[in-house]
Amino acid sequence: MKAVYIDQHGGPEALTHGERPEPEVAPGEVMLRVGGSALNHLDLSLRAGTGYRGGLPRILGCDIAGEVVNISPEAPGDLKVGDRVLLDNRTKCGACPSCLQGLDQYCANQKRLGVDLDGGHAEYVTAPAINAHRIPDSMSFTEAAALPIAAHTAWHCLVTQGQIRPWDDVLIQAAGSGVGSMGIQIAKMFGARVITTAGSDWKLEKARALGADEVINYRETPDISRRVKELTDGRGVDLVFDVVGADVWEENLLSLKPGGRLVITGVTSGARASMDLSILQGRPLQLMGSGGRSRRTFADMMKMVNQGSLHGIVDRVFPLAGVAEAHRVMESREFFGKLVIES
Ligand SMILES: [Zn+2]
């Protein structure tokens, strides 16, 4: 079958568009004919070999949607051939101490499609049947592929970790990122007031269209926390959701009101930051990471997708032969939402 894979690390030229063996359905698995598979920042580091731990060759593509074309007789659930689904890309063992405690987000044996297992930049992919979730009939595969990781991460960070409430003022960094744009939708769904940031006005316009109440262009207003205070009558926000990391760490802390909560899920600008510990002591902040995500919260998130409350945000669609070009666009940051590959 046609697929895009890496058998060595490097720049976008390391991506090979060629033939790979068609996968076989193992017990408990389903096979999809892939309709769409979205890019994540993780793909750039996988390709470059920074932080990559899996084997080679590897078919990339962690966010996957498609049509069920084959089901193992042992597969649990009621999926049928022809069903339209998207995939939770994390497989869990169901048998380790964490799984047995109902804490599968901490499963010691989890693997990720598109990282440790072959992914969705291909004609076909296999996955455990319990990782496949039906999508609305009206939703395209390319829109569905834009959802799983971004929507689940934003849901996990805002709802599970951040305990978002309707009366919260929420600062969401990087409106144009996959998780940022999804975070705006989810925060508005919960009735919160959203302040968001981006480096260009066209992204901020799109953020407003998604429901953001206030926007800050961080290139024109680098002192984000001062502007946040102005927008909150001097109080600061209840909750910060951040994917940027080191570059905005200090501004994140200064933007929080006393007792505020910060959830961080990415460090795209860097992972090392210093901290004035008196800020933590004087204003008892709750600083949280994202970490693993559970099957239960994926199911919660999918309920909102299937009732039409949560939509995938697709910037551009590329053909399978265009994955290298999509990687270049991702590196340029000149996009809003997700870059999706159509198989
Ligand atoms: Zn486990």
User: How large is the average pLDDT for residues 66-84?
Assistant: 97
- Give the residue ranges of DSSP H helices in 156-200: 178-189
User: How large is the average pLDDT for residues 12-30?
Assistant: 97
Same domain, 56 and 90: yes
pLDDT score at 275: 87
Is 297 within the bounds of a domain?
no
Same domain, 232 and 123: no
Is 227 within the bounds of a domain?
yes
In this structure, are residues 130 and 51 in contact, taking their beta carbons and an 8 Å threshold?
no
In this structure, are residues 275 and 207 in contact, taking their beta carbons and an 8 Å threshold?
no
Cis preceding-peptide flag for 57 (omega within 30 of 0) = yes
State in Å: Cα 97 to ligand 1 middle.
Answer: 7
State in Å: Cα 324 to ligand 1 middle.
Answer: 34
State in Å: Cα 182 to ligand 1 middle.
Answer: 28
- Residues making up the chain, counted from first to last: 343
The string of pLDDT tens digits covering residues 163-186 is 999 999 999 999 999 999 999 999
3-state secondary structure of 325: helix
pLDDT score at 141: 98
Closest to 157 measured CA to CA, from 188, 132, 182: 182
CA 206, 207, 212, 217 dihedral sign is: negative
Same domain, 104 and 161: no
Instruction: Give the mean pLDDT of the chain.
Output: 96
Task: Output 341 or 274, whichever has higher pLDDT.
Answer: 341
User: What confidence category does residue 87 fall into, taking pLDDT thresholds of 50, 70 and 90?
Assistant: very high
Q: Using CA atoms, how far apart are residues 280 and 260, in angstroms rounded to an integer?
A: 10
State in Å: Cα 50 to ligand 1 middle.
Answer: 26
3-state secondary structure of 331: helix
Closest to 119 measured CA to CA, from 197, 196, 59, 184: 59
- Give the residue ranges of DSSP H helices in the chain: 41-48, 97-100, 141-145, 148-155, 178-189, 201-209, 224-231, 249-255, 277-282, 295-306, 323-332
Boundaries of domain holding 161? 151-289
User: What confidence category does residue 266 fall into, taking pLDDT thresholds of 50, 70 and 90?
Assistant: confident
- Percent of the chain at pLDDT exceeding 70: 100
The string of pLDDT tens digits covering residues 223-240 is 999 999 999 999 999 999
Domain count of the fold of the chain:
2
pLDDT score at 139: 98
Same domain, 92 and 133: yes
User: What confidence category does residue 330 fall into, taking pLDDT thresholds of 50, 70 and 90?
Assistant: very high
Joined together, the tokens standing for residue 1 give 């079958």
User: How large is the average pLDDT for residues 211-221?
Assistant: 97
Same domain, 234 and 278: yes
State in Å: Cα 65 to ligand 1 middle.
Answer: 24
Joined together, the tokens standing for residue 181 give 């744009």
State in Å: Cα 92 to ligand 1 middle.
Answer: 5
- Percent of the chain at pLDDT exceeding 90: 92
pLDDT score at 279: 82
State in Å: Cα 105 to ligand 1 middle.
Answer: 8
Same domain, 8 and 110: yes
CATH number of the domain enclosing 44: 3.90.180.10
Task: Output 268 or 107, whichever has higher pLDDT.
Answer: 107
Same domain, 65 and 113: yes
In this structure, are residues 34 and 342 in contact, taking their beta carbons and an 8 Å threshold?
no
State in Å: Cα 313 to ligand 1 middle.
Answer: 31
Same domain, 127 and 228: no
pLDDT score at 51: 73
pLDDT score at 59: 98
State in Å: Cα 310 to ligand 1 middle.
Answer: 29
pLDDT score at 8: 94
CATH number of the domain enclosing 267: 3.40.50.720
Label residue 7 exposed, middle or buried (CB < 10 Å: 0-12, 13-18, 19+).
exposed
State in Å: Cα 260 to ligand 1 middle.
Answer: 33
Burial profile 262-271: b = 16 or more Cβ within 10 angstroms, e = fewer: bbbbbbebee
State in Å: Cα 216 to ligand 1 middle.
Answer: 42
Is 109 within the bounds of a domain?
yes
245: left (phi over 0), alpha (psi -120 to 50) or beta: left
Same domain, 140 and 155: no
State in Å: Cα 292 to ligand 1 middle.
Answer: 12
The answer to whether the pTM exceeds 0.85 is yes
pLDDT score at 337: 96
Same domain, 41 and 102: yes
The string of pLDDT tens digits covering residues 33-62 is 999 999 999 999 999 998 776 789 999 999
The string of pLDDT tens digits covering residues 188-207 is 999 999 999 999 999 999 99
State in Å: Cα 252 to ligand 1 middle.
Answer: 34
The string of pLDDT tens digits covering residues 102-124 is 999 999 999 999 999 999 999 99
User: What confidence category does residue 291 fall into, taking pLDDT thresholds of 50, 70 and 90?
Assistant: confident
